Amino acid sequence: MQEIRKRYRELVEFDRTPLLICANHLTMIDSAIIAWALAGPWWYLRHFRTLPWNTPERVNFASHPLHRVLAYIFKCMPIRRGGRRAEVAQTLQRFSDAIGKGEVGLIFPEGGRSRSGRVDVENAAWGVGRVVKSIPNCRVLCVYLRGDAQSDYSNLPEKGDRLRISLATLEPKSEHRGLRGSRDVARQIVSKLSEMERDYFDAR
């Protein structure tokens, strides 16, 4: 974890180029685990912009007024999966604007927890591609997180499980415009996560 945190500091401390973290998704607290793995509480207090904004499902994390306040404090922009297109687009635009201004963002390119327990390249959501293409010079930090006892998706990791995390930087590009370009960028990111997943299982 010390090596992971050192690498994250190198990515964000002196470089204000927009950074989007893209990760696989298996549990409901992945965003919290990833934030904790990348830096400690004292670091975030001194460098609050490096605590990643994320877009949790509104039903799970912002259904009560108190939960909405807490969600905002912890830099969440709740989004309703499958909600009205205009509402989803507005949230993604706010998310992109924050990253473009020097904040860090965290998104799950698969659009939800993987039901197979593996990165699903074929069904990647195109929203992440739209975010990346809307932010000039956006860097992508791919994060693969998995517990050794994790076989498929769950609410929480197994009690006492050993969690492993790996990082890889990526600058996805596409010559295509519009939806086709967004899908192309999204596929590049998810393909990288799939490659990191293969490395994880090969190492075991």
Close Cβ partners of 11 (under 8 Å, ≥ 6 residues apart): 19, 139, 141, 169
Distance of alpha carbon 202 from alpha carbon 204, whole angstroms: 5
So what's the pLDDT on residue 82? 67
Q: What is the pLDDT of residues 76-109, one digit of tens each?
A: 888 777 667 788 888 889 999 999 999 999 999 9
Contact at 8 Å (CB) between 194 and 117? no
Please give the model's pTM, rounded to 2 decimal places.
Answer: 0.91
Tell me the C-alpha to C-alpha distance, in Å, between residue 103 and each of 16, 59, 72, 87, 98: 8, 25, 14, 22, 5
pLDDT score of 54 more than 60: yes
Write down the CATH number for the domain with range 2-203. Answer: 3.40.1130.10
Distance of alpha carbon 21 from alpha carbon 39, whole angstroms: 14
